[in-house]
C-alpha cells in the first residue's frame, strides 16, 4: 500500500509532538523510523491508525492517494492498515478467536465458514509456535509482553494487512520468539509483495531481522536524516546525538 504523511503537525494536549513531518512509503517498501525515547514515535503510529487522543493540526495522511484523516480506526483497519502496538491492550470477556473472527468478518466481503476460519487461525498459530489453547483465552489477558506481541501478529496474519506498523516489536520478545515472529512476517511479505512496512524502533536489533530499505532518524519532532540501511548502522555505532557528517572509513 502507498502511504504518504504530508507536512504533519501533531499535538497532544496542546503540546506539539511532531512538526512538519513528511514521509512517503511506496507499496512493497520497508521503512524504519528511529529515534530516542519520547520523540513521538508511538504517537506517530497511533495517529496513522486514527487514535482520537491525538490531534492532527496540520497536514494530511494519504493511503493510495486518498486522505484517511476523517476515517475511524476500524475504517482504516478495513483499508488494510494494521498497527502492532508497543504495549498491546488486553480485552476481558472476549476470546482471541472471537475477536479475530469478528474483525476478519467485518473486513472480508466473502465470509469464511467457521471451519475455514479455525483451520486458518490454527495454521497461523502453529507458524508462530503458539499454544492453540491460547486461542480460547481472553484476548491478551494474563499473557506476557512477548506473548501479546505474538497474539497481535497472529491477528495481523488473519487480517492480511497491506500496510503494517510495528512499534517496538522486539520489546518483550526473547531472541527465539523474535526470530519466529520476524520469519513469519518475512514469509508474509514474500507472499504479499505489495505490503509495505513501517518499523518503529530505538534499537537497531529488529532491523537485522526485517531489513529496511529506508531508514529515517527522528529528532525534535522531525525527520532530520534519511538514508539506507547503513544509516541504522551509523546510529548503532554513534547514537542519536552524532551529526553524521563523519564519513565512515
Ligand X SMILES: Nc1ncnc2c1ncn2[C@@H]1O[C@H](COP(=O)(O)OP(=O)(O)O)[C@@H](O)[C@H]1O
Return the number of the residue (37 or 113) whose C-beta is nearest ligand X.
37
**Quick check: 53 binds ligand X (CB under 6 A)?**
yes
Chain centroid offset of residue 81 CA: 9
**Quick check: 43 binds Mg ion (CB under 5 A)?**
no
CB atoms within 10 A of CB 221: 20
Which sign does the torsion angle of CA 165, 149, 40, 51 carry?
A: positive
Half-sphere exposure for 238 (CA within 13 Å, toward CB): 16
Applying CB under 6 A, among 1, 8, 43, 81 the residue interacting with ligand X is 43
**Quick check: 140 binds Mg ion (CB under 5 A)?**
no
Applying CB under 6 A, among 30, 32, 34, 41 the residue interacting with ligand X is 41
Task: Report which of 20, 22, 30 is spatially closest to residue 57, judged by C-alpha positions.
Answer: 20
Q: What is the dihedral of CA 103, 109, 113, 115, to 10 degrees?
A: -60
Closest approach, Cβ 171 to ligand X, in A, equals 11
By rule CB under 6 A, what string of x and - marks binding of each residue 129-168 to ligand X?
A: ----------------------------------------
Return the number of the residue (46 or 162) whose C-beta is nearest Mg ion.
46
What is the DSSP annotation of 47-92? HHHT-TTSEEEEEEEEETTEE-TT--HHHHHHHTEEEE-SS----T
**Quick check: 48 binds ligand X (CB under 6 A)?**
no
Applying CB under 6 A, among 4, 12, 99, 127 the residue interacting with ligand X is 12
Radius of gyration of the chain (CA): 18
**Quick check: 221 binds ligand X (CB under 6 A)?**
no
By rule CB under 5 A, what string of x and - marks binding of each residue 215-244 to Mg ion?
A: ------------------------------
Summarize as ranges the residues that interact with ligand X (CB under 6 A).
12-13, 17, 35, 37-43, 53
Amino acid at each position: 500500500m502507498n502511504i504518504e504523511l504530508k507536512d504533519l503537525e501533531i499535538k497532544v494536549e496542546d503540546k506539539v509532538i511532531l512538526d512538519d513531518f513528511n514521509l512517503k512509503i511506496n507499496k512493497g517498501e520497508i521503512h524504519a523510523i528511529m529515534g530516542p525515547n519520547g520523540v513521538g514515535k508511538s504517537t506517530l503510529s497511533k495517529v496513522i491508525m486514527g487514535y482520537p487522543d491525538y490531534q492532527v493540526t496540520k497536514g494530511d495522511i494519504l493511503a493510495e492517494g486518498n486522505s484517511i484523516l476523517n476515517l475511524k480506526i476500524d475504517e482504516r483497519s478495513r483499508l488494510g492498515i494494521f498497527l502492532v502496538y508497543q504495549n498491546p491492550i488486553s480485552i476481558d470477556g472476549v476470546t482471541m478467536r472471537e475477536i479475530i473472527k469478528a474483525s476478519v468478518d467485518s473486513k472480508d466481503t466473502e465470509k469464511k465458514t467457521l471451519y475455514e476460519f479455525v483451520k486458518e487461525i490454527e495454521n497461523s498459530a502453529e507458524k508462530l509456535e503458539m499454544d492453540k489453547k491460547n486461542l480460547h483465552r481472553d484476548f491478551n489477558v494474563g499473557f506476557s509482553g512477548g506473548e501479546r506481541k505474538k497474539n497481535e501478529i497472529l491477528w495481523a496474519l488473519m487480517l492480511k494487512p497491506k500496510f503494517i506498523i510495528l512499534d517496538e516489536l522486539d520489546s518483550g520478545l526473547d531472541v527465539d520468539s523474535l526470530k519466529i515472529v520476524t520469519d513469519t512476517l518475512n514469509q508474509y511479505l514474500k507472499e504479499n509483495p505489495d505490503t509495505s512496512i513501517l518499523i518503529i524502533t530505538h534499537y537497531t536489533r529488529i532491523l537485522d531481522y526485517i531489513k529496511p530499505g529506508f531508514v529515517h532518524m527522528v529528532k525534535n519532532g522531525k525527520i532530520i536524516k534519511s538514508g539506507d540501511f547503513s544509516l541504522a548502522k551509523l546510529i548503532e555505532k554513534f547514537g542519536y546525538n552524532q551529526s553524521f557528517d563523519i564519513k565512515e572509513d
